[in-house]
Amino acid sequence: MTKRFMLSEVILLRNKFIDIFLILLILIIFTGYFLYRNHTYSGRVLIHLLKIEQNIQSGDWQQAKENSELLKNDWHHSKGLLLLNFASEEYLTLDNTIDKIAAGIEAEDKGMVLSDLLVIHNLWNNYTKIVPEP
């Protein structure tokens, strides 16, 4: 009788260990995801967008071009998480809009750049929400 009782205690302890391990694993995964997410969406992209808008408004196209290059670099560091969280259509829309901003700056087309800045700003704000809109 005591061996049977001990065996059931061992099974119970093993089940508790598995439960605790799984809960800790889930917590570690979520914590890692949100830390990476906060680092990725730290605001560098938005800062570059605002700087480009200020440069365009003041007519400083050279500085806008430099900021668009910085925007592209930060975008390439951020796109991995976007690919995990969103469909390829959203990713391609953002990627194409960044390219259109760079092209508009090259052509010094103020209207095109400002409209694309508004589009990308709205897209980025939606992407950085915990529960983005469709």
Q: How far is Cα 57 from Cα 52, in angstroms, rounded to an integer?
A: 9
Which residue range(s) make up the domain with 57? 43-134
Q: What is the mean pLDDT of residues 115-120?
A: 90
Tell me, what's the pLDDT at 16? 76
What are 43's two structure tokens? 């605001």
Do 99 and 67 belong to one domain? yes
Please check whether residues 106 and 60 belong to one and the same domain: yes
User: Under a CB-based contact definition with an 8 Å cutoff, are residues 116 and 97 in contact?
Assistant: yes
Q: How far apart are the first and last CA of the chain?
A: 61
Residue 109 Rama label (left phi>0; alpha psi -120 to 50; beta): beta
Hunting for tokens 């529960």 — which residue is that? 131
> Is residue 16 domain-shared with residue 66, that is, in the same domain?
no
Q: How many domains does the chain have?
A: 2
**Claim to verify: residue 67 and residue 110 sit in the same structural domain:** yes
The one-character DSSP state at 98 is: H
**pTM to 2 decimal places:** 0.69
What pLDDT, on a 0 to 100 scale, did the predictor assign at position 45?
Answer: 81
